[in-house]
Amino acid sequence: MTAPLTPPHQPPHDPDWPPPPPPLGPAGDPITAAEVLWGVVVTAASAVAAVLLGLLWLWLAPRVLLISDGKGVYLRDSEGESAIGADGTFVLLALAFGAVAALVVFLLRREGGVPLVLGLALGGVLGSLLAWGVGTYFGPARDVVAHAKAVGPNVVFEAPLELDMAAAAMLAWPLAAMIVHLALTALFGPRDPEPEYWGPHPQPEQKSL
């Protein structure tokens, strides 16, 4: 009878070799209740910040001026770019809010996690929608015909505040938040520990007499 061969994937029974490391668990750490709570808090905080975004947009956006002759309502400046300016103002403000949100979340929770990222994305979309609603609600009257009749003919008045590229504007906040948070995590986030060395320990050098 021959002795059983040592499997090639196992080291020989050598005292210099440490015991093998424990088997690895499933990839990634499980999502904890604390991380989910943080994601909910980020979403709620974004909704609160949306009120400020809507008021800033209402304050900074250029106005589209209208005038009525008693029969119809017309643009006072048909070649103006105020409508595009309103969209651009909203997008720039949303980008700034998204970047600041990502910075604050990273400073408060450097460990990151899937719930935080989802909270930033969902909060950005929800915040953009709420900011749009706040700006249009507190802005000029949306019934242009009734407004024209109220001010009378040949009197300049402001058109309702609108977003012509609403779908694209809604993505500015979440995209900025995701990109900035990813960059901060990659540059300054905690690093994974180095894997432990598993192998023979070096032998001390023997000095000859």
Q: Are 66 and 144 in contact (CB under 8 A)?
A: yes
pLDDT tens for each residue of 131-168 = 999 999 998 888 877 877 777 787 787 888 888 888 88
What angle do the packed helices 114-138 and 82-108 form, to 10 degrees?
150
β-sheet with 65-68: strand ranges across: 73-75, 65-68, 157-158
Please state whether the predicted TM-score (pTM) of the whole model is above 0.95. Answer: no
Under the banding of pLDDT at 50, 70 and 90, the label for residue 72 is confident
| Residue in this structure with the two tokens 């690895």, named with its chain if needed | 24
Under the banding of pLDDT at 50, 70 and 90, the label for residue 208 is low
